[in-house]
């Protein structure tokens, strides 16, 4: 069964927005996704009918709200097949999740003479936190390079991992669309005695995630890319790892005892959730997980493979060599995210002309400057799809590129 995309689109009010009297074609879902009515309504209904501080207060409404909040944690835990809800830490976004990994686990475990492994296709969120810490602690950062067909070059992986304490890598490139072999990478890490941290931002919204099958030690992702609200992200990690990690942010909720001279930490997951959490946003994320489960992650993945095929054919049929797609050609090995160069027109100009046709793509370095340098582009235009993307979106993109040709 494939998705009934037309029906799904009706659930996303933004998709019927018109600009200049014409429909819009949103092709920037790798950046952030739109929100279905059920998520928007879950948030506003909660604020209207059930809002309450959680955890710290004990009256009936507060425990009702706490239950809703913890219920969402269980939903998220189930969604990624975590061992226990207490392994799910709510952050503000995936960037905070990765900073938490670096500042808590990294600060406690990395020093002079140590090394970690990253890849050339990481997002800045999985580079800069490690660079910041490395500057202070003096450990080494090693890089997994790319093959010419936009895959990770694993030929020297074992060597890179030798003596390394962790590898942190993206499960799917936000620029190339490349899906990385997470399981193989996690196994190689463990064989070398390193832990495996997975940046799941681009895969968790688009395909089934199973942290047990993956064998990961930590997984970071963001709500706003998976039909959920902004303001909340997730760090999942194995319980034993979280237990051993020092706290990250200090404050209310994460302590068990505070004296003038010292403090002790609360149990998981509270230890890592200092201050008032994004209560409403977590409720919204729970609704997004329900929505994705209802639609079905397998079906979403299948739909995106179909769309990838469709887009590939449509773009190359019309433009041939005039368009260069930076990324694997096999749709099974990639997500529905296309970075491309169109003739020698600057991506900023491409996106400007597309914008005029209500075709919304992103142009720039996509927060992956090292990768851009490696693929030899200063910027690319990127069209990225999701469960609600349809052939009309792709057709509009293909047609609008004609206008780019006519201007430049």
Partner 1 sequence: MSNLEDLYREVILDHYRSPRNKGELPPPATCTEGANPLCGDEIKIFLDVADGVVRDVRFSGHGCSISQASASMMTAIVKGKPLTDVRAVAKRFKQLMTIEEDDGTTPTDIRLGDIEALQGVVKYPVRIKCAVLGWNTLLEGLDSTST
Site for ligand PLP in 217-246 (CB under 6 A): 222, 224, 233
Q: How many residues bind ligand PLP (CB under 6 A)?
A: 18
Q: What are phi and psi of 296, to 5 degrees?
A: 100, 120
Closest by CA to 158, choosing from 197, 127, 120, 191, is: 191
The closest residue (CB) to ligand PLP is 275
Residue whose structure tokens are 């009256």: 59
Strands (E), 153-212: 166-170, 195-199
Calpha distance 266→249 (Å, rounded): 12
User: What single DSSP character describes residue 209?
Assistant: -
* 265 has catalytic annotation: no
Site for its own copies in 123-142 (CB under 8 A): 123-125, 127-129, 131-132, 141
Structure tokens at 400: 């609008």
State the alpha helices, DSSP H only, in 80-214. 94-100, 107-109, 128-137, 157-161, 182-191, 211-214
Site for partner 1 in 238-257 (CB under 8 A): 255-257
Q: Is 236 exposed, middle or buried (0-12, 13-18, 19+ CB in 10 A)?
A: buried
Pairing of strands 115-119, 140-144: parallel
Site for partner 1 in 64-83 (CB under 8 A): 67
201 binds ligand PLP (CB under 6 A): yes
231 binds its own copies (CB under 8 A): yes
Query: How many residues are listed for the chain in this entry?
Result: 408
Site for ligand PLP in 149-178 (CB under 6 A): 170, 174
- Catalytic member of 86, 186, 201, 367: 367
363 binds partner 1 (CB under 8 A): yes
95 binds ligand PLP (CB under 6 A): yes
94 binds its own copies (CB under 8 A): yes
Which of the residues are catalytic?
367
Q: Which residues make up the interface to partner 1 (CB under 8 A)?
A: 55-56, 58, 62-63, 67, 255-257, 266, 345-349, 352-353, 356-357, 363-365, 369, 372, 378-379, 403, 406-408
Q: Which residues make up the interface to ligand PLP (CB under 6 A)?
A: 93-95, 123, 125-126, 170, 174, 199, 201-202, 222, 224, 233, 252, 275-276, 367
């Amino acid at each position: 069964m494939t998705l009934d995309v037309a029906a799904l689109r009706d659930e996303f009010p933004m998709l019927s927005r018109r600009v200049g009297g014409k429909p819009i074609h949103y092709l920037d879902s790798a950046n952030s996704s739109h929100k279905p009515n059920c998520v928007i309504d879950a948030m506003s209904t909660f604020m209207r009918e059930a809002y309450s501080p959680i955890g710290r207060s004990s009256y009936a409404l507060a425990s009702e709200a706490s239950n809703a909040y913890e219920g969402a944690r269980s939903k998220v835990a189930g969604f990624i097949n975590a061992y226990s809800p207490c392994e799910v830490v709510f952050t503000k976004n995936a960037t905070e999740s990765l900073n938490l990994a670096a500042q808590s686990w990294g600060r406690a475990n990395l020093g002079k003479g140590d090394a970690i492994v990253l890849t050339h296709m990481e997002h800045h969120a999985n580079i800069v936190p490690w660079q910041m810490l490395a500057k202070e602690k003096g450990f080494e950062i090693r890089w997994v390079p790319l093959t010419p067909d936009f895959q990770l070059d694993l030929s020297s992986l074992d060597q890179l991992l030798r003596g390394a304490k962790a590898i942190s890598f993206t499960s799917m490139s936000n620029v190339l669309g490349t899906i990385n072999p997470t399981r193989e990478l996690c196994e190689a890490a463990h064989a070398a005695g390193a832990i495996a941290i997975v940046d799941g931002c681009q895969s968790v919204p688009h395909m089934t995630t199973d942290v047990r099958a993956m064998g990961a030690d930590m997984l970071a992702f963001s709500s706003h890319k998976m039909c959920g609200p902004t303001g909340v992200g997730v760090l999942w990690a194995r319980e034993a790892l979280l237990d051993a990690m020092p706290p990250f942010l200090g404050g209310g909720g994460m302590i068990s005892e505070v004296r003038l001279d010292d403090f002790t930490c609360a149990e998981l997951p509270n230890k890592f959730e200092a201050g008032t959490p994004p209560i409403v946003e977590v409720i919204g994320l729970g609704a997004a997980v329900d929505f994705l489960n209802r639609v079905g992650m397998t079906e979403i993945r299948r739909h995106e493979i179909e769309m990838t095929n469709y887009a590939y054919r449509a773009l190359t049929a019309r433009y041939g060599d005039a368009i260069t797609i930076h990324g694997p050609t096999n749709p099974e090995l990639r997500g529905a995210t296309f970075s491309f160069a169109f003739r020698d027109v600057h991506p900023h100009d491409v996106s400007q002309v597309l914008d005029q046709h209500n075709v919304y793509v992103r142009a720039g370095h996509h927060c992956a400057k090292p990768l851009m340098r490696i693929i030899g582009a200063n910027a690319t235009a990127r069209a990225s799809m999701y469960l609600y993307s349809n052939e009309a979106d792709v057709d509009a993109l293909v047609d609008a590129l004609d206008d780019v040709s006519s201007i430049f």
